[in-house]
Structure 1
Amino acid sequence: MVAFGKRLKERQIQEWQRYYIDYKLMKKKVKQYAQQNEVAAQDRHNNLKEFSRMLDYQIEKVVLFLLEQQGLLATKIAKLGEQHAEILKQRNISQISELRDAYRAVGQDLLKLLVFVELNAIGLRKILKKFDKRFGYKFTDYYVTSRANHPYSQLQQVFKHVGIGAVVGALSRNIAELQENTGSYLSIYDHPSMPLQDPVIDSIKAAVDRLTHSTNFLHFLGQHALIMHEEIPTQDDDLDDDQSYHFISLLLNLANTFLYMVNTYIIVPTADNYSMSLGAAATVCGVVIGAMAVAQVFSSVYFSAWSNKSYFRPLVFSSIVLFLGNTLYALAYDLDSIAVLLIGRLLCGFGSARAVNRRYISDCVPLKTRMQASAGFVSASALGMACGPALAGLLQTDFQIYKITFNANTLPGWVMALAWLIYLVWLWISFKEPARKTDNNHVEQGTDAGPVENDALEKGLVQPLLLSSDTKQHDEDDSQDCDASEEASEASPKAATSMGSAYKLLTPSIKVQLLIYFMLKYAMEILLSESSVITSYYFSWSTSSVAIFLACLGLTVLPINIIVGSYISNLFEDRQILLASEIMVCFGILLSFHVIGAYSVPQYVCSALITFVSAEVLEGVNLSLLSRVMSSRLARGTYNGGLLSTEAGTLARVVADGTITLAGYLGQSRLLNVTLLPSLFICITSIIATFCTYNTLY
């Protein structure tokens, strides 16, 4: 893995070199402060002030150059504008073509300026994290509070620039007017959905979106998957990916994801009745549902490690185990054994291959389509979550074949066993094992979708736009100027080798993000797993009614992500949406409590909808922020950041399902309030923690 400082320098425009932030100087300064602090802790405050002034100078240098270049671009566009009206009147095709080419040349200059700002923004984020890592994680909070929130903030100019948007608008409008058939007087302002029709404008828009973290539906949805992307991709990324990409294999991974989510939720409407038919209490459904999550805590780790060597074999193993697990789940009724029922669900959890599904997308899907594949992964999960309960609602029949019972309780197991058997045959016939990459960087990549430190280049600079004219000379300069030991350390940061070592790499910001993830998964699991028991007790709902209710909740996932990803996330910062979503989850939980009077269907449905939708929004923005604050050492290896977040979510489900069963001993009349109390406590705790780390989420 090439050191960040070296990659940064490789992509610099030679004549602009003195205007980039001096990342190497600031990195050495941090190292110097660390050595001083070991001797004299009283210098800590002075170091903060001195480093702040150094950062102020570096940012001012970037911003002033940015403004100067914006002025030059504006001047060029203004001069071209003087010719624009006259040429359109004359309708001279050759002159229109020349003018269009002139505008495109300005667009190329603007694109280079955008990547200049983008690289500086990445460098600033990295150096802030590096300082925090050495000195107790307080500097970013101080610096962002004092600088970013100031009315004359130059830091905001780097991340939230407005002038460039005006230049992009001017270029877009003028190039659009010079397209053929201009007699229709179409305008980008009157028809915002009209395609821009020019590659340079599309490239500029993509660069602006990366820099400002603007999102669309696919991008926002893909964030839920936590698929890893290189911080600054290399030239060969797409070529390497194309060699191992096989669409049918990707489709098989998505089908595995869909079937697994169907398998998880197909038993929710009937788990309480099944438990009672075997002589257990209705609230034992919590253990029945949660057994799958208990096993998944362990399966995530071994599948994560296994996918380092193969994708095909773990998928085959997963399918066989899930076939056996569902068969035992269905047979438990005729065997009259709650133990067989639980063993069946445990086997289903041991067959969870979501780590393999994510890893395949991360390693084998080309960079240009990886975000669409990530969105497909999340969509498959959401559809499976909706289809599971809906399918359970349709399986309302009762008959026997050779003393084997097929009814509402057992049919989910038999249907899923058949589905996994068919999937296994399809997998065996169609899956193509990709060639393993020999590059060390790829071999060590995270298996469960470890996020990277910064997703500003998530879609990648496929063609390095800032390569200098003599890269070899830059490499030689770097090797002479840089501190060799420090450069080596940064060039190949060691991936965590155990869950304990991975935990030691977590900063307070990451811990808060994982706490939020735990909270939202806990709240959602309480809502979904106890829905059958609660609605049966208070409203006497049938299994079909519960199934329809849960399916409707699941169907809200994609529309909500469309709204948030395409609109809300572009109007507000992620951290603002994060905090607002947490508060809405808290409100939904409070609304769910049964305090006085009769518990009504509208109260339950409204509170469930608010909680579920808010938690779904919260998941997207939380994982987006998590990818920015995550250490690069957690971006690769078996014990990566994606695995940590998966374990946090799975553990939340285990604890939630266990809470339901334990609360059941107090009686069904108290079940609702007793299970909501921990949700409320964890939610309030996460809100307080978010306030404490708010300015580090930048």
Structure 2
Amino acid sequence: MVAFGKKLKERQIQEWQGYYINYKLMKKKLKQYAQQIEVGIQDRRHVLKDFSRLLDNQIEKIVLFLLEQQGLLASRLAMLDEQNNTPQQQPEISQILELREAYRAVGQDLLKLLFFVEINAIGLRKILKKFDKRFGYSFTNSYVKTRANHPYSQLQQVFKHVGIGAVVGAISRNLHELQDRQGSYLSIYDQPALPLEDPVIDSIKAAVDRLTHSTNFLNFLAQHALIMQDELPTPVEEQVDDQKYHFMSLLLNLANTFLYMVNTYIVVPTADDYSLSLGAAATVCGIVIGAMAVAQVFSSVYFSAWSNKSYFKPLIFSSVVLFVGNILYALAYDLNSIAVLLIGRLFCGLGSARAVNRRYISDCVPLKIRMKASAGFVSASALGMACGPALAGLLQTNFKIYKLTFNQETLPGWVMAVAWLIYLIWVGISFKEPSRETEEHHLPQESNAEAAENDAVEKGLKQPLLTSSEDKQQDEDSEQECDESEEVSPESHGPATSIRSAYRLLTPSVKVQLLIYFMLKYVMEILISESSVITAYYFQWSTSSVAIFLASLGLTVLPVNIVVGHYICNMFEDRQILLASEIIVCVGVLLSFHIINPYSVPQYVCSGLILFVSAEVLEGVNLSLLSRVMSSRLSRGTYNNGLLSTEAGTIARVVADGTITLAGYLGDSKLLNATLLPSLFICISSIVATCFTYNSLY
């Protein structure tokens, strides 16, 4: 694999060469520090102080150049404004076109400057991560905390590109007016909802979004899928994507996601009654619901590996296994066998093809619509989560055909079996397997922010991260030396090849994010899975009432994401929302405890709503941060970040359902508090862990 520094050197722009972060110099410094510490001639305090000073100098160089370039752009815009505002009786079309091209030229130079900022931000993040990894210090935490929060922060200039917004506004406003100069005096400020159809502005907006991590509803929703959107494709990449893309195949993957989530939650309102009818305790519903998650722990791995070779065959296999699983689930009633019931749910879990669904979007959907496809993936999941319990509430009937019973307990199995049979036929007729030859020449789209940053640096930006004051041979030798000291073996450049190697790539920040993901899935599963037992014991709710409650919770997912994506994420940093959401989840757990008699419906519903909504908010920002702090090596291959997060969430569901079953031995009267205590402990642990790594989530 070509060394990182060499790839960057090939993309250098000579006139800006001296103003980029000197990444090579700092890598050499890390090697020197390691040697000096090893022989005992340097201590930790001096190393931290010296490296901080070096970073400060590098950042100051970048910021001063950035301000200088902003001034030059502002001067050009001022000259163009004079031409644009010069009184003329009737401006000629040629003059308008000339001005538009001049503004576009400024826009192109601004885009280059934004890429300059982005490259340096990438370099800073990478070198900070390398320092922490090399020496085991929390240097990033202390450095960012002291620099970013200072009133004269130069670090904020790099990460928040202060001042560029005014230049973007000037270009946008003038291009809009020149585009619509037909007697109208309205500006972009008068009609903010009207988009400016200009590719330069679109590119600038995309670049600004990457730097600020600002978002909208689609972006925020798409982050839940852990499929990276912020990439800078080359025309060749776009052409390859278009060759592989097939709309009906994408639709089939989204339908698979929707049906699987319906299949997961359609049994929740009736699982306790089904368990009782087969002679088991009502709390065995935890095992019935959780059996699907247990199997999914394993199915996620083999489906992720299978998707390296095919998308069609895994979907066929998934449909067949789910069809069989639901048939077994339905037959368990007439066979009077709890074992058949559990085997049926295990089969359903073995048919979980979510890894294939996610991978198809990542690899086979064009970049221009991948964000929408990712949002569709999450929306299909949310809709399935709401439709599952709602559908169960409608299946209130009881009749027999021959020896087969059709009632509220067995109908979920029969209905889903028919649905998967129809889906199987649909896949067989309509799915188109992408060309694997094309895929061999197309690098897998990386699904986290660091990987996208690397891709942006190495493929699209054509700007330097290194400076060179030595001759060519010395430069190459120095880079090779740094690369050798930085990496253990060539294999360290590739994707993780096992769960163990993937785990080794997890930094403390990533581990905390996965803990948070575990926590939020755990508390949500406790709330949902035990709802039928809790409401039957305290409130004597019917199956229909439980179904309405669960469906209402599921329907909050999209509205909550609209509010968070449109407003909250643009008002606060992700890490601020993360910590606040964790605290609110903790409050929701505390409010759910049965302490005061009688335990009322308003208390249960309100606490459940608070818990569920805050967990939904937490999931979005958690996955957004996770994508930025996770290693780029975890964006590719079988053991990728999507798989790791899925496994963390699935294990959380398994543990939660197991907790419900074990707590059931204490009796229904103690079930609620017994299951909430572990939730509270895990929640508090995640808050404490977040506080320790807060400043590294930057």
Q: Which amino acid aligns with 2:204?
A: I
In structure 2, the residue matched to 1:419 is 419
TM-score (norm 1): 0.94
Question: What is the Cα deviation at residue 478 of structure 1?
Answer: 9.7
Q: Is the 8 A contact 2:24 2:482 kept in 1?
A: no
In structure 1, the residue matched to 2:219 is 219
In structure 2, the residue matched to 1:484 is 480
Question: What is the Cα deviation at residue 659 of structure 1?
Answer: 0.6
Give the 3-state SS of the residue equivalent to 1:236 in structure 2: helix
Shift in alpha-carbon separation, 1:120–1:10, aligned structure 2, 3 A = farther
Question: What is the Cα deviation at residue 495 of structure 1?
Answer: 2.3
Q: d(CA) in 1 for partners of 2:402 and 2:671? A: 40
Alignment of 1:277-356 (within 5 A): 277-356=277-356
In structure 2, the residue matched to 1:51 is 51
Q: Is the 8 A contact 1:294 1:346 kept in 2?
A: yes
Q: d(CA) in 2 for partners of 1:452 and 1:160? A: 16
In structure 2, the residue matched to 1:551 is 551
Alignment of 1:112-131 (within 5 A): 112-131=112-131
Q: Is the 8 A contact 2:451 2:635 kept in 1?
A: no
Q: Is the 8 A contact 2:13 2:462 kept in 1?
A: yes
**Larger CA deviation: 168-177 vs 511-520:** 168-177
In structure 2, the residue matched to 1:274 is 274
Render the CA deviation track for 1:346-380: whole Å, top value 9, x for unaligned. Answer: 01011111111111111111122211111111111
Shift in alpha-carbon separation, 1:554–1:461, aligned structure 2, 3 A = farther
Q: d(CA) in 1 for partners of 2:500 and 2:454? A: 30
Alignment of 1:95-134 (within 5 A): 95-134=95-134
Q: d(CA) in 2 for partners of 1:180 and 1:227? A: 37
Q: d(CA) in 1 for partners of 2:495 and 2:41? A: 30
In structure 1, the residue matched to 2:238 is 238
Question: What is the Cα deviation at residue 90 of structure 1?
Answer: 4.1
Q: d(CA) in 1 for partners of 2:174 and 2:393? A: 57
Question: What is the Cα deviation at residue 50 of structure 1?
Answer: 1.2
Q: d(CA) in 1 for partners of 2:471 and 2:390? A: 59
Query: Equivalent of 2:450, from 443, 448, 453?
Result: 453
Give the 3-state SS of the residue equivalent to 1:405 in structure 2: strand
Give the 3-state SS of the residue equivalent to 2:269 in structure 1: coil
Give the 3-state SS of the residue equivalent to 2:405 in structure 1: strand
Q: d(CA) in 1 for partners of 2:309 and 2:463? A: 35
In structure 2, the residue matched to 1:193 is 193
Q: d(CA) in 2 for partners of 1:123 and 1:462? A: 12
Question: What is the Cα deviation at residue 123 of structure 1?
Answer: 1.2
Q: Is the 8 A contact 2:240 2:438 kept in 1?
A: no
Question: What is the Cα deviation at residue 390 of structure 1?
Answer: 0.6
Give the 3-state SS of the residue equivalent to 1:184 in structure 2: coil
**Larger CA deviation: 257-266 vs 629-638:** 629-638
Q: Is the 8 A contact 1:307 1:314 kept in 2?
A: yes
Q: Is the 8 A contact 2:240 2:442 kept in 1?
A: no
Shift in alpha-carbon separation, 1:41–1:309, aligned structure 2, 3 A = farther
Q: Count matched residues.
A: 689
Q: d(CA) in 1 for partners of 2:214 and 2:273? A: 47
Question: What is the Cα deviation at residue 251 of structure 1?
Answer: 1.0
**Larger CA deviation: 302-311 vs 476-485:** 476-485
Shift in alpha-carbon separation, 1:475–1:229, aligned structure 2, 3 A = farther
Q: d(CA) in 1 for partners of 2:88 and 2:33? A: 61
Question: What is the Cα deviation at residue 12 of structure 1?
Answer: 4.0
Q: Is the 8 A contact 1:213 1:456 kept in 2?
A: no
> Alignment identity in percent?
77
Q: d(CA) in 2 for partners of 1:87 and 1:246? A: 53
Q: d(CA) in 2 for partners of 1:255 and 1:162? A: 43
Q: Which amino acid aligns with 1:122?
A: I
Q: Is the 8 A contact 1:147 1:154 kept in 2?
A: yes
Q: d(CA) in 1 for partners of 2:39 and 2:220? A: 46
In structure 1, the residue matched to 2:462 is 466
Q: Which amino acid aligns with 1:206?
A: A
**Larger CA deviation: 45-54 vs 35-44:** 35-44
In structure 2, the residue matched to 1:400 is 400
Give the 3-state SS of the residue equivalent to 2:598 in structure 1: coil
Shift in alpha-carbon separation, 1:244–1:401, aligned structure 2, 3 A = same
Shift in alpha-carbon separation, 1:36–1:441, aligned structure 2, 3 A = farther
Q: d(CA) in 1 for partners of 2:512 and 2:88? A: 58
In structure 2, the residue matched to 1:560 is 560
Q: d(CA) in 2 for partners of 1:335 and 1:659? A: 28
In structure 1, the gaps of 5 or more residues are 469-473
Is 1:680 equivalent to 2:680 in the alignment? Answer: yes
Question: What is the Cα deviation at residue 476 of structure 1?
Answer: 7.5
**Larger CA deviation: 223-232 vs 74-83:** 223-232
Question: What is the Cα deviation at residue 465 of structure 1?
Answer: 5.0
Question: What is the Cα deviation at residue 111 of structure 1?
Answer: 1.1
Question: What is the Cα deviation at residue 9 of structure 1?
Answer: 3.8
Q: Which amino acid aligns with 1:306?
A: W
Q: Which amino acid aligns with 2:450?
A: E
Q: Which amino acid aligns with 1:38?
A: E
Shift in alpha-carbon separation, 1:295–1:41, aligned structure 2, 3 A = farther
Alignment of 1:199-214 (within 5 A): 199-214=199-214
In structure 2, the residue matched to 1:363 is 363
Is 1:28 equivalent to 2:28 in the alignment? Answer: yes
Q: Is the 8 A contact 1:232 1:457 kept in 2?
A: no
Q: Is the 8 A contact 2:278 2:338 kept in 1?
A: yes
In structure 1, the residue matched to 2:62 is 62
Q: How large is the Cα RMSD of the aligned pairs?
A: 2.4
Q: Which amino acid aligns with 2:414?
A: W
Q: Which amino acid aligns with 2:202?
A: D
Is 1:147 equivalent to 2:147 in the alignment? Answer: yes
Question: What is the Cα deviation at residue 230 of structure 1?
Answer: 8.4
Give the 3-state SS of the residue equivalent to 1:400 in structure 2: strand
**Larger CA deviation: 559-568 vs 237-246:** 237-246
Shift in alpha-carbon separation, 1:439–1:93, aligned structure 2, 3 A = closer
In structure 1, the residue matched to 2:631 is 631
Shift in alpha-carbon separation, 1:88–1:662, aligned structure 2, 3 A = farther
Q: d(CA) in 2 for partners of 1:56 and 1:15? A: 23
Q: Is the 8 A contact 1:275 1:285 kept in 2?
A: yes
**Larger CA deviation: 523-532 vs 10-19:** 10-19
In structure 1, the residue matched to 2:15 is 15
Q: Is the 8 A contact 2:591 2:607 kept in 1?
A: yes
Q: Which amino acid aligns with 1:71?
A: G
Q: Which amino acid aligns with 2:476?
A: Q
**Larger CA deviation: 541-550 vs 2-11:** 2-11
Q: Is the 8 A contact 1:228 1:635 kept in 2?
A: no
Q: Is the 8 A contact 1:275 1:282 kept in 2?
A: yes
Render the CA deviation track for 1:409-464: whole Å, top value 9, x for unaligned. Answer: 00000000011111111111111111225777857x59xx8535255689x69993
Question: What is the Cα deviation at residue 228 of structure 1?
Answer: 4.7
Q: Is the 8 A contact 2:362 2:447 kept in 1?
A: no
Shift in alpha-carbon separation, 1:48–1:88, aligned structure 2, 3 A = farther
In structure 1, the residue matched to 2:467 is none
Give the 3-state SS of the residue equivalent to 1:483 in structure 2: helix
Alignment of 1:177-192 (within 5 A): 177-192=177-192
In structure 2, the residue matched to 1:580 is 580
Q: Is the 8 A contact 1:232 1:461 kept in 2?
A: no
